[in-house]
Structure 1
Amino acid sequence: MSMAAAAAFSVVEDPGRLVKRTAAMTIGVACAVLAIKYLAYMVTGSVALFSDALESIVNVVAGLVALWAVSVSYKPADSDHPFGHTKAEYFSAVIEGVLIVLAALLILREAWGAYLSPRAIEAPLLGIAINGVATAINLVWAQVLVRKGREHRSPALDADGRHIMADVVTSVGVLAGLAIAGATGWSILDPALAALVALNILREGWKVVASSLSGLMDRALDAQEEARVREIISKYGEGALEVHDVKTRIAGRAIFIEFHMVVASSMSVGAAHVICDRLEDALQAEFDGARVLIHVEPEAEAKQVGVPVI
């Protein structure tokens, strides 16, 4: 079969469909993990395991919100939203952060009740084994979400993945504490562990909200990526006298790059357009789907003649 024929049969999956399918699968995984963790709680009666299960309820709700946000973010631009809907994913992350805080407060309430009325933990080894299965599932899926979130620049998937990874760390701590409590008979460890779970997810909730608010405020590319933008402009800006006022911003998975390009006053519009096309193609090749805006100026507007990029 020729390469052309092979290409005809190959199917490149739509990134939006892949992201939405991943978000939908997250809901199923979260429901399965919730059921397993709740079983561990029923077996042991441990308030720490109950708090771990309660956090999984947040994962289910957050998964539903993330699926909605991802679906909205991939809607095409329209007259009311000419720059698209990519920022919708940030709202998902903010809502997830709020849910995390609410879960932490509920866990603290349960921990306080267990502290006032301590109770022995039943079948701790069986509970640890059951919860360990749920933790292993979460560990694998969190890594998948973080990887997919970064690959497709999806704040919703990335926030979900980081939250679930925090859940994994919490679960490992809970399991270790329950093992100690079972071996020593110190029932006070159970509510103490629940309180630590609450404090840990409060910290993670703050990180998720802070990251999302940064995105809503049109955060620029990181320093390394901005340096790469300038390198590309310098390399492919042949024919221009200088480029200045380089600005970048991130809106979900969308990247916006804009700058002023100074050319000789005698240069034709067509020649200047050729330079612009070359720069746009190079930047979009490096930053998939980047939206590039170039303002062409005559040499009288130069800020520092002879410097390609400032």
Structure 2
Amino acid sequence: MTSPHLDAEASGRLNRSAAFASITVATLLLGLKGWAVLSTGSLAMLGSLADTALDLVASVSTLLGVWIAAMPSDANHRFGHGKAEALAAMFQVVLISLSAIGLAVRAIGQMFGKTTVEDPGLGMAVSALAIGATLALVAYQRHVIARTRSVAIATDNVHYSADLLLNFAVIAALAIERWGHIPGADAVFGLMIAGWLGWGAWAASQEAIEQLMDGEWPLEKRERFLEVAGRHPALKGIHDLRTRTSGNRDFVQFHVWVDGAMTVTQAHHVMDELEAALESEFPGTEILIHPDPEGLIDEDKLGAQDLTVDLSDASPALLAQGEPRGFRAT
């Protein structure tokens, strides 16, 4: 769901600005870290360089994802292009995973070899510069995410947030090599960084997978939606609630019970009022409502079971059953 203060075009512009910012930072850091790797020979720094190279590729894919996702609906994509963001996010996850595996293999190999780190002070200075640039980027990305809720920018943010720890780990590894004279420290930190990247890839994939699989909204959000809908005095009940998210757009459809004696015109007026109330609380959401006469339940979905309960009893356990939900408006 986008911010109530942003329309789709403004949200798209803000997402693209965040993607361009990450591309700029990744390009700058790629040059600095490449120079540092050639000067120091540090495995931890090499891992950081590899991650930054993938950052650049991932940021380009993020830009493409948010650009496509911002395109308006057309004849072939009536629900919009929002899933382009989730696809871009999954591409990033693949790149992060490959980076983690490659770094882990190299770190394990170095543990059984003999290597030395040259000029660790240079590597530490470059990592400190990388931390400063990444902190600024992460802060801006979080500002954008708060306003657009972009899953692609959020995944990019997870990656760059992990980079902060990665750069601190590089500084620690080089400091130990320089002043601690502990052999193998660089390889150990390289392996730790690989593990952190792998965990970050797993965590970043979850929301993208939920969107691609049309997962339901979080439980708290569904309950709040039911609560807002239940305030309308003409509603006798709600059932068969279905929700999903695609990029920065939310979709919801459900059936409502109304007085069976209502005319079509009266029922339509009630639906308009209900949509207006819901859109004020859930801006940018596409809502589809199907009115039914009170007591009617689709038997192919619910059988003869009566799922109508008081709103106060619409507990998490009821919503978590995975069956169409219902409550009686009070």
| The two structures share one fold, judged by TM-score above 0.5 | yes
Q: Which whole-Å CA distance do the structure 2 matches of 1:12 and 1:220 have between them?
A: 22
| Structure 1 residue matching 2:257: 3-state secondary structure | strand
Task: Confirm or deny: 8 A CA contact 1:142 1:160 kept in the other structure.
Answer: no
Give CA-to-partner distance per residue, 1:256-280, whole Å, 9 cap, x none.
1111111111112222222211221
Query: Aligned to 1:149, which of 126, 145, 151?
Result: 145
Listed as ranges, the matches of 1:105-124 within 5 Å are 105-124=101-120
Residue 250 in structure 1 maps to residue 245 in structure 2: yes
Q: Is the 8 A contact 1:40 1:131 kept in 2?
A: no
The alpha carbon displacement at 1:300 in A equals: 3.9
Once residues 244 and 300 of structure 1 are traced to their aligned partners in structure 2, the CA distance between those partners, rounded to angstroms, is 11
Determine which of 75, 81, 89 is the counterpart of 1:79.
Answer: 75
Show the counterpart of 2:185.
189
Kept after mapping to 2: 8 A contact 1:149/1:156: no
1:150 to partner: Cα distance: 4.0
SS in 2 for 1:247: strand
Q: Of the two structures, which has the highest relative contact order with CA contacts closer than 8 Å and spacing of 6 or more?
A: 2
Q: 1:305 Cα shift?
A: 6.6
**1:83 match: secondary structure:** coil
Structure 2 CA distance, aligned partners of 1:300 and 1:64? 53
**2:253–2:289 contact (8 Å) kept in structure 1:** yes
Matched residues in 2 for 1:305 and 1:174: separation? 59
Relative to structure 2, which stretch is displaced further, 215-224 or 91-100? 215-224
Contact 2:130 2:167 in 1 (8 A): no
Alignment of 1:37-186 (within 5 A): 37-186=33-182
Residues 148-171 of structure 1, C-alpha deviations (whole Å, 9 max, x = no match): 224212111000001110111122
The 8 Å contact of residues 144 and 161 in structure 1, kept in 2 or not, is answered as no
Q: What is the alpha-carbon root mean square deviation over aligned residues?
A: 2.1
**What is the aligned partner in structure 2 of residue 3 from structure 1?**
none
Distance 1:242 1:109, change over 3 A: closer
Partner of 1:275: 270
**Secondary structure, aligned partner of 1:14:** helix
Note if contact 1:218-1:249 (Cα within 8 Å) is conserved in structure 2: yes
TM-score by length of 1: 0.89
Structure 2 unaligned segments of length 5 or more: list them: 1-6, 298-305, 312-325
* Alignment TM-score, normalising by the size of structure 2: 0.84
Match of 1:262 among 257, 260, 270: 257
**Secondary structure in 2 matching 1:193:** helix
Q: Could you tell me how far 1:174 is from its partner in structure 2?
A: 2.3
1:198 equivalenced with 2:191 (yes/no): no
Cα distance per residue 1:37-84 (max 9 Å; x no partner): 223323322111111111001100001111111111111112221111
Q: Matches of 2:309 and 2:205 in 1, distance apart?
A: 44
Code of the residue aligned with 2:53 in structure 1: it is I
Instruction: Pick from 19, 25, 31 the counterpart of residue 29 of structure 1.
Output: 25
Letter in 2 for 1:185: H
> Higher mean Cα deviation, 152-161 or 243-252?
243-252
Determine the structure 2 residue equivalent to 1:217. Answer: 213
Query: How many residues were matched structurally?
Result: 299
Residue 230 of structure 2 aligns to a residue in which SS? Answer: helix
Return the offset for 1:211: 2.8
Q: Which runs of 5+ in 1 are unaligned?
A: 1-10
Cα distance in 1 for partners of 2:146, 2:245 equals 13
1:8 maps to which residue?
none
After TM superposition, the structure 1 stretch with the greater mean CA deviation from structure 2, 258-267 or 32-41, is 32-41
* Separation in structure 1 between the aligned mates of residue 17 and residue 276 of structure 2, nearest angstrom: 30
User: Is the CA contact 1:145–1:157 (under 8 Å) kept in the aligned structure 2?
Assistant: yes
Alpha carbons of 1:307 and 1:270: their partners in 2 closer, same or farther (altered >3 Å)?
farther
